[in-house]
């Protein structure tokens, strides 16, 4: 870990000012990802700007019937918030599928969106990695890539985004509110995370001096027919090999709205508007779910060790959609898959 300066931001404007004045500075919220990366010398910030006490901890109803969630709301508070439990249970479920109770107590919404890949080479400064050290090469391409991406990869990087929360947010069509020196802007969550392309060191569309202040959920919460299914190497406390957030609106057995987002398979939560459109107006049957899975996974490619993910994702998509249609969402405490 390097030596760093520390300042506590007085308010959002102060945090933005401090960011602008200190190139190489990093915001710190819960610290559960940043500090780990600092211990590994992957992150070497010149200064930590502590935003953990800023007043961004509210969950408020918006005029149009949605919700606005402050960037510093702890993950566990959000998962157990009555409005989230009632109206956006998919989000609650995805959050509870992630990390451990202790980590969720510390982790913030903003930090969760910003968490970096768990690619082992990214963490090991003794190995080449384009994301950590642009231009050095990607060790995962021909190395240990069992956990790596099958969709949207590039020749520079095949890392995945590890967040569970973001997968649900992508399915729910969340917006990200960002404060910056010249005011505020809003961006769709699906546009917030990037594909690696030839700039894998840039994970997200967030400019210098910009801070996430809130996320916004649109009114439609899919509270009846949803499920978040996370497949991992042990039954809890592991990152996803594949995860699926599924949300349906049904009229009888007919699908009127469908959202599907995948985790663990790409550099960002993966959605396919085409797959969702194909389900609209169709009966909620395994055949239609399989067809949607094919569309979602169109173009999936594997390296030496992650080929299993393609078939696993296909099956997981069908199962999650079935759970959603049957209104039997996956429990995050009982690990038997319904």
Partner 1 sequence: MNAYVGTPTSRVDGRAKVTGTAKYAGEFPADGLVHGFVVEATIPCGRIARLDTSAALNVNGVLDVLTHANRPPLADNDEAWKDEVAPEKGSPFRPLYDDTIKFNGQPIALVVAEDWETAKFAATLVRVEYEPSGFATDLEGERGSAAETDEPPKPRGDAAAALARAAVRHEADYVIPTEHHNPMELFATTAVWDGGGKLTVYDKTQGVQNVHKFLCGVFDKKPSDIRVISPYVGGAFGSGLRPQHQVVLATLAALALKRSVRVVLTRQQMYGLGYRPMTIERVGLGAKSDGTLEAVTHEAIAVTSRYEDFARNDTGWAEQLYSSPNSRFSHKLVHLDVSTPCDMRAPGAASGVCALECAMDELAVALKIDPIDLRLNCYSDRDQSENLPYTSKQLRECYARGAEAFGWSRRNPAPRSMHDGNELVGWGMATGVWEALQMPVAVRIVLTSNGHAEVSCAASDIGTGTYTIVAQVAADALGLPIENISVRLADSTLPQAPVEGGSWMAASSAHAVLAAAEDVRKELLSLAGKMPGSPLADAELADTVLIDGSIARAADNSRAVSIADAMRHGNIERIAKEKVNQFDEDKKHARNTHSAVFAEVKIDEQLGVIRVTRIVSAVAAGRILNTKTGRSQIMGGVVWGIGMALHEETVMDHRFGRIMNANIAEYHIPVNADVHDIDVIFVDEPDAHINKLGVKGLGEIGIVGVPAAIANAVYHATGKRIRRFPITLDKLLG
Ligand X SMILES: Cc1cc2nc3c(=O)[nH]c(=O)nc-3n(C[C@H](O)[C@H](O)[C@H](O)COP(=O)(O)OP(=O)(O)OC[C@H]3O[C@@H](n4cnc5c(N)ncnc54)[C@H](O)[C@@H]3O)c2cc1C
Interacting residue ranges for ligand X, rule: CB under 6 A: 26-34, 36, 51, 71, 75, 98-99, 103, 106-108, 110-112, 114-115, 162-165, 211-212, 239
Nearer to ligand SF4, 130 or 332 (CB): 130
Number of residues forming the site for partner 1 (CB under 8 A): 34
Angstrom distance (rounded) from CA 117 to CA 140 = 12
Is residue 218 within the footprint of partner 1 (CB under 8 A)? no
Q: Which of 194, 201, 291, 315 binds partner 1 (CB under 8 A)?
A: 315
Dist. CA 93–CA 241, nearest whole Å: 17
Angle between helices 89-96 and 165-172 (to 10 degrees): 160
Residue 323 interacts with partner 1 (CB under 8 A)?
Answer: no
Regarding 123 and contact with ligand SF4 (CB under 6 A), the answer is no
Beta-carbon-side half-sphere exposure of residue 110 (alpha carbons within 13 Å): 27
When the beta carbons of 192 and 228 are compared against partner 1, the nearer one is 228
Candidate ranges 8-16, 47-55, 178-186, 304-312; the one touching partner 1 (CB under 8 A): 304-312
Answer yes or no whether residue 35 interacts with partner 1 by CB under 8 A: no
Binding-site string for partner 1 from residue 234 to residue 263, where x marks contact by CB under 8 A and - marks none: xxxxx--x----------------------
Instruction: Please tell me whether residue 42 binds ligand SF4 under the rule CB under 6 A.
Output: no
Q: For residue 203, how far is the Cα from the chain centroid?
A: 12
DSSP calls for 106-143:
H-BHHHHHHPPP--HHHH-TTS-BTTTSTTS-BTTTTS
Query: Candidates 31-39, 69-77, 153-161, 325-333 — which segment interacts with ligand SF4 by CB under 6 A?
Result: 153-161
233, 274, 287, 326: residue in contact with partner 1 (rule CB under 8 A): 233
Residues 6+ apart with CB under 8 A from 59: 67, 68, 69, 70, 73, 78, 81, 83, 84
Q: Does 291 bind partner 1 (CB under 8 A)?
A: no
Give the whole-angstrom CA distance, residue 243 versus residue 223: 19
- Binds ligand SF4 (CB under 6 A): choice among 51, 67, 97, 158: 158
Which range, of 8-16, 67-75, 155-163, 278-286, touches ligand SF4 by CB under 6 A? 155-163
Q: Which of 8, 17, 57, 118 binds partner 1 (CB under 8 A)?
A: 118
Q: How many Cα neighbours within 13 Å face the side chain of 134?
A: 8
Nearest to 54 by CA among 69, 71, 31, 32: 71
d(Cα 246, Cα 317) in Å, to the nearest integer?
8
Tokens of 143: 């190395």
3 binds, among ligand SF4, ligand X, partner 1, none (CB under 5 to 8 A by kind): partner 1
For strand 5-8 and strand 242-251, is the pairing parallel, antiparallel, or unpaired? unpaired
Q: Contact between 180 and partner 1 (CB under 8 A)?
A: no
Closer CB to ligand SF4, 114 or 260, in the complex: 114
Give the residues lining the site for ligand SF4 (CB under 6 A).
117, 119, 121-122, 129-131, 138-140, 157-159, 200
């Amino acid at each position: 870990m390097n030596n760093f300066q520390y300042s506590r931001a007085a308010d959002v404007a102060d945090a933005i000012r401090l960011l602008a004045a200190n190139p190489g500075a990093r915001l710190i919220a819960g610290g559960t990802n940043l500090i780990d990366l600092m211990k590994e010398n992957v992150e070497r910030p010149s200064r930590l700007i502590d935003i953990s006490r800023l007043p961004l901890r509210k969950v408020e109803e918006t005029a149009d019937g949605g919700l606005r969630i402050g960037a510093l709301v702890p993950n566990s508070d959000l998962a157990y918030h009555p409005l989230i439990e009632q109206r956006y249970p998919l989000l609650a479920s995805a959050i509870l599928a992630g990390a451990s109770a202790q980590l969720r107590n510390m982790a913030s919404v903003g930090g969760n969106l910003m968490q970096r890949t768990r690619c082992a080479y990214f963490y090991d400064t003794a190995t080449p990695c384009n994301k950590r050290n642009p231009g050095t090469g990607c060790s995962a391409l021909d190395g240990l890539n069992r956990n790596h991406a099958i969709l949207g990869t590039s020749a520079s990087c095949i890392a995945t985004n590890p967040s569970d929360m973001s997968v649900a947010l992508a399915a729910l069509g969340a917006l990200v509110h960002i404060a910056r020196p010249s005011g505020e802007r809003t961006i769709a969550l699906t546009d917030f995370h990037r594909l690696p392309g030839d700039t894998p060191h840039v994970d997200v569309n967030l400019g210098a001096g910009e801070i996430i202040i809130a996320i916004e959920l649109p009114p439609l919460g899919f509270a009846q027919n949803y499920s978040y299914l996370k497949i991992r190497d042990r039954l809890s406390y592991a990152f996803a090999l594949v995860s699926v957030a599924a949300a349906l609106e049904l009229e009888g057995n007919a699908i009127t709205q469908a959202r599907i987002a995948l985790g663990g398979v790409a550099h960002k939560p993966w959605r396919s508007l085409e797959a969702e459109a194909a389900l609209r107006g169709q009966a909620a049957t395994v055949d239609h779910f399989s067809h949607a899975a094919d569309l979602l996974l169109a173009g999936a490619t594997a390296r030496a060790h992650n080929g299993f993910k393609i078939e696993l994702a296909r099956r997981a998509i069908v199962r999650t959609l079935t759970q959603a249609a049957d209104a039997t969402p996956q429990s995050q405490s009982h690990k038997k898959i319904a």
